[in-house]
Amino acid sequence: MQGSYFLTGEHRPYNVKKAALGRVHPKRNLGKDGWGAWELAARYSHLDLNSGKVKGGELHDYTFGLNWYWNPNMRVMWNYVHAGRTSGGSADIFMMRFQTAF
């Protein structure tokens, strides 16, 4: 389950024929005319690690992110992930990624 919200009013286009999300186009690109687009995101994931004789438990993770779209081809992504297994153990992860797409 996931969701996101653009703080700067953009939207993520969806192509019905391709069943695919499109590229985000900031209303104002980073630079002379603006600060780009900012998106808050959250996701919950569940993974069953039990299969046959393997009893790995279940993994649940929560991800919170901030995406900064400089223009339609570049973005910076920051994520915090809290993951935990029902049979013990957990992890807290901070990530930052830079993406260029053509």
Q: What's the rounded Cα separation, in Å, for the pair 61 and 90?
A: 9
Q: Which residues pair with 65 in a beta bridge?
A: 41, 79
Q: Which residues pair with 20 in a beta bridge?
A: 15
The mean of the pLDDT values for the chain is: 94
What local confidence, expressed as pLDDT, does residue 18 receive?
Answer: 93
- pLDDT tens by residue, 5-43: 999 999 999 999 999 999 999 999 999 789 999 999 999
What local confidence, expressed as pLDDT, does residue 102 receive?
Answer: 85
CA atoms within 13 A on the CB side of 6: 14
Residue 87 has pLDDT above 80, yes or no: no
